[in-house]
Structure 1
Amino acid sequence: MELYLIRHGIAEEKHPDISDASRKLTKDGEQKTKKVAHRLQEMGLQFDVIASSPLVRAWQTAKILHNVGLSSQVEECSHLAPDGSIHDWVGDWLEPRNYSPSTQLAVVGHEPNLSNWAEFLVWGEVKGQLVLKKAGMIGVQLPETGSVFGRCQMFWLTPPKYLL
């Protein structure tokens, strides 16, 4: 199974009058995310499911990916919120679905979670070495059996500037 960890696009700055959960993509963030999505489509990517953090900026990013035709299915997943846990996500969301080895799953979330998750999947620990830029993507191949932690292979790490 291939797992694509995608960071949300450029969002509104933090402001006391706006809750973090309500921060939207900026106009520039929407435009760049659409360009990245179109480029991914041109490259032939197709996701079986796009799972998104419930925060507005991530959900907007997931909908852009969906609207471009990268997947016909978008689902909200609370484990992808900034306070989410990879252990909870694997146990509550990934394992019960019993995906086939050919599944391509995209998750849209936040930093530093996504980079930390990728490191934990690949190395079995967080080393703080990966950084995922806004609208960037990390791809990891999950093993067909057994635990995913420390047993995945990273095959993609791309900042958006290489897709624009």
Structure 2
Amino acid sequence: MRLIFLRHGLAEGHFSFDQDADFERELTAEGIKRLHQTFKQFRKVESNIDVIFSSPLARAIQTAELFWSYYQDSDLEMMADLDILDDPRHLVEYISFLPTDGTYVFVGHDPHITKVIAALLALHPEHEFMTIKKGGICVLEGGMWKGFTMELLVSPKFLRTITD
């Protein structure tokens, strides 16, 4: 099973506790441009996607549709479990029932998808949750007392693909 998590692109305005207003925020022209650049490169690395799941919020739907334009053989489905206010455990449970031979993309929001990723990595603490390939690069940013965030984790295969 391959799981790919994708945060929506640059959207207009800022998060609002007015759920209807936040639900309708769309991508900016710059956000769309950047996503096309990203997806064009990513297509060189990941050739097959089975299903693209999207949050029902407008900016995520737009992001998922743009991503789908690079993977038109994939199914595209809306998923309430990717809503920014949903409990991340719901998505973790859903993933546990997916066929294990598939590649799935989840288009959503932060911090929701970050929490899902963290939960999936911590499911089996006896397993190494991250491996740096020979020649790979990992960048952490932060501090000892406030913690670190992973800014980048790239395999040499990915780097070769985008430079060829």
The answer, yes or no, to whether TM exceeds 0.5 is yes
CA distance in 2, matches of 1:150, 1:111: 27
Runs of 4 or more, structure 1, over 4 Å off, are: 15-18, 148-152, 154-159
- Of 52, 76, 81, the residue aligned with 2:78 is 76
- Does the alignment pair 1:103 with 2:102? yes
| Structure 1 residues not aligned, in runs of 5+ | 125-147
Q: Structure 1 residues 51 and 149, CA, compared in 2 at 3 Å: closer, same or farther? A: farther
The answer on whether the counterparts of 2:92 and 2:120 sit within 8 Å (CA) in structure 1 is: no
Q: How many residues align?
A: 135
CA distance in 1: counterparts of 2:92 and 2:126, whole angstroms? 13
Cα deviation, residue 69, structure 1: 2.0
Task: Output the aligned Cα RMSD.
Answer: 3.0
Which sections of structure 2, spanning at least 5 residues, go unmatched?
133-149, 153-158
- Contact in 2 for aligned 1:49/1:74 (Cα 8 Å): yes
Scaled by the length of structure 2, the TM-score of the pair is 0.69
On the 8 A contact 1:41/1:70 being kept in 2, the answer is: no
Letter in 2 for 1:3: L
TM-score normalised by L of structure 1? 0.69
The correspondence of residues 1-164 of structure 1 with structure 2, limited to 5 A, is: 1-14=1-14, 19-69=21-71, 71-91=73-93, 93-96=94-97, 98-100=98-100, 102-124=101-123, 153-154=129-130
What letter is aligned with 1:11? A
Partner secondary structure for residue 83 of structure 1: coil
Identity %: 26
Greater RCO (Cα-Cα under 8 Å, separation 6 or more): 1
Letter in 1 for 2:5: L
